[in-house]
Amino acid sequence: MAKVVRSLVGKVVSDAVNKSVTVLIERRVKHPLLGKIVKKFKKYRAHDENNQYKAGNQVVIVECKPISKTKAWTVESLASKI
């Protein structure tokens, strides 16, 4: 049985920390009462071994075992332009 790996696509908002990037994930959900579509945002700290991703890049991050207190994701690749 294959292991399911979660992956998310987001934008790098910070690359100030060595071997780490902060990725902003945006998702659209329907408000339960109003029915309006609203944007929800969450930031994830991801591991970037070679410091190759810079602020503004669209990247794909995948879940991994915890690397530190705040990092449990790694950057897999640049996301293709949609």
List, for residues 41-50, the tens digit of each pLDDT value. Answer: 999 999 999 9
Asked whether the predicted pLDDT for residue 2 surpasses 80, the reply is no
pLDDT of res. 3: 77
What whole-number distance in Å separates Cα of residue 38 and Cα of residue 30?
6
Helix (H) or strand (E) holding 22, with range, is strand 20-30
Find tokens 């990247």 and name the residue: 59
CA dist list (Å): 73 to 3, 37, 57: 16, 28, 16
- On average, the pLDDT of the chain sits at 93
Q: Which fold has domain 7-78?
A: OB fold (Dihydrolipoamide Acetyltransferase, E2P) (2.40.50)
Mean pLDDT of 46-65: 94
AA letter at 21? V
> What percentage of residues in the chain have a pLDDT greater than 70?
95
Asked whether the predicted pLDDT for residue 68 surpasses 60, the reply is yes
- What residue segments make up the domains of the chain, in order of their start? 7-78
Asked whether the predicted pLDDT for residue 14 surpasses 90, the reply is yes
